[in-house]
Structure 1
Amino acid sequence: MHSDHRNYFKFTSKARLDKSVNALIGIVEGIVIDGQINALELDYLNLWLAEHDAVRDQHPFNELVPVVTAAVADGILTEEEHADIVWLCERLRSTEFYDDVTADLQRLHAIMGGIVADTHISVEELRALSDWMADHEHLKTCWPFDEVGSLITGVLADKQIDAKEHAMLQAFFAEFTPLLDDRTITSPRVLEGRQIVGLCAVDPEISFMERGFCFTGASSRFTRAEFEGVVKRLGGSAHSSPSKKVHYLVIGAEGNPCWAFACYGRKVENAIKLRKAGSRVVIVHELDFHDALADHGS
Structure 2
Amino acid sequence: MSDSDWRRAVEPDYVKDAEINELIGLCKGVLADGTLVQEEAEFLLGWLDGRFQASVSWEGRIIHDRLRAMLADGELDADEQRELMELLADFTRVDEAHESNLPTWLPLTRPEPELLIPGSAFCLTGTFSYGPRKRVVACIEKAGGQYKSGFSAQVDVLVIGDLCTPAWVHATYGRKIEAAATARDEGHHVLIVRESHLFNSLPE
Output the TM-score relative to the length of structure 1: 0.36
- Alpha-carbon distance change, 209 to 108 in structure 1, aligned in 2, over 3 angstroms: same
Identify if the C-alpha distance between structure 1 residues 226 and 280 changes in structure 2 by more than 3 Å, giving closer, same or farther: same
Paired with 1:237 and 1:288, the residues of 2 have a C-alpha distance of: 17
> 1:254-273 alignment to 2 at 5 Å?
254-255=163-164, 259-261=168-170, 265-273=174-182
Shift of 1:16: 4.7
Q: Which amino acid aligns with 1:231?
A: I
Structure-1 residue corresponding to 2:84: 6
Q: 1:246 to 1:9 in 2, by over 3 A?
A: closer
Structure 1 unmatched ranges of 5 or more: 27-106, 110-143, 145-175, 177-184, 189-198
Give yes or no for the alignment of 1:276 onto 2:178.
no
For 1:232 and 1:280, locate their aligned partners in 2 and report how far apart those are by CA, in whole Å: 21
Deviation at 1:251, TM superposition (A): 0.9
AA partner of residue 101 (structure 2)? L
1:213 aligns with 2:101: no
Is contact 2:158–2:191 with CA below 8 Å preserved after alignment?
Answer: yes
Q: 2: distance between equivalents of 1:9 and 1:218? A: 7
Unaligned runs of 5+ in 2: 1-59, 67-79
Residue 275 of structure 1 aligns to a residue whose secondary structure is helix
CA contact (8 A) 2:87 2:126 kept: no
Runs of 4+ more than 3 Å apart: 4-10, 256-260
CA deviations over 1:228-284 (Å, ceiling 9, x no partner): 11111122111112211111111111115995527x711101101111222111001
Residue 108 of structure 1 pairs with residue 17 of structure 2: no
Tell me the percent identity: 30
- Compared CA separation, residues 204 and 276, structure 1 to 2 (3 A): same
SS in 2 for 1:278: coil
Letter of the structure 2 residue corresponding to residue 238 of structure 1: Y
- Shift, 1:286, TM fit: 1.4
Residues 1:252 and 2:164 are matched in the alignment: no
* SS of residue matched to 1:213: strand
- How many correspondences in the alignment? 126
Q: Which structure has the larger Rg over C-alpha atoms? A: 1
The Cα shift of 1:200 comes to 2.6
What amino acid is aligned across from residue 108 of structure 1 in structure 2? N
